[in-house]
């Protein structure tokens, strides 16, 4: 359960307290973790006790600590416990232990799914559904998000200029919209494309 990181570290996204590039896996702190997500320049982690931490680039508020200040070490976000995370370009998502979806950070392309383009500096509840998985793109200009609800149904929101929603259109959406009638096990959002395993 120990965390290691390496590579580019210009915004402190490795979480080792400095901004020096690491060429080999480097131990980060002494905590144990159950999930990690990496965005374009920031990282999210769910510690083994379910608490959420964030570090690295925070120019869009994507760390969720109420500021836009970069953090060089894992920083506790709120007091809730969580079970799933996804980090994007300058935005973040997390599914709380009760299955509710939260989003924060840059929202210029409706990628948070709250029906606005308002930047959110703290985790913000998205709708009333419960979710089992979320995945968001970290590619500028094609930012979109896909999620699988607890009933297995697939939803999408944000940019759809390449048809990445999979609903036969190129129409963007500011809120999660249902895609098809199938149920799904997992999804992965790429640069304006998606891969998914059907349920």
Work out the average pLDDT over 31-54.
98
> For the chain, what percent of residues have pLDDT higher than 90?
95
* Summary mean pLDDT of the chain: 96
CA 67 to chain centre: 17
| pLDDT tens digit sequence for 79-94 | 999 999 999 999 999 9
Spatial strand order of the sheet with 100-105 comes to: 2-7, 22-38, 42-47, 51-56, 71-87, 91-96, 100-105, 120-136, 144-149, 153-158, 173-189, 194-198
pTM score: 0.96
Say what percent of the chain tops pLDDT 70.
Answer: 100
Q: If DSSP codes are grouped into helix, strand and coil, which group holds residue 192?
A: coil
Q: What is the pLDDT of residue 139?
A: 82
């Amino acid at each position: 359960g120990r965390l290691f990181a390496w590579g580019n570290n210009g915004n402190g996204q490795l979480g080792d307290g400095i901004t020096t590039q690491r060429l080999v896996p480097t131990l980060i702190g002494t905590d144990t973790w159950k999930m990690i997500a990496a965005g374009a320049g920031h990282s999210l982690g769910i510690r083994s006790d379910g608490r959420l931490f964030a570090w690295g680039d925070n120019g869009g508020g994507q760390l969720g600590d109420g500021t836009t200040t970069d953090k060089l070490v894992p920083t506790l976000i709120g007091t809730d416990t969580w079970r799933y995370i996804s980090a994007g370009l300058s935005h973040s998502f997390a599914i709380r232990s009760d299955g509710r979806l939260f989003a924060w950070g840059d929202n210029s392309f409706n990628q948070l799914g709250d029906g606005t383009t308002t930047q959110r500096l703290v985790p913000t509840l998205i709708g009333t559904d419960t979710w089992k998985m979320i995945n968001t793109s970290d590619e500028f200009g094609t930012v979109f998000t896909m999620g699988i609800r607890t009933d297995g149904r697939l939803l999408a929101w944000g940019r759809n200029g390449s048809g990445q929603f999979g609903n036969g259109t190129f129409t963007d959406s500011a809120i999660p919209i249902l895609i098809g009638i199938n149920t799904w096990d997992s999804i992965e959002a790429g640069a304006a494309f998606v891969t998914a395993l059907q349920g």
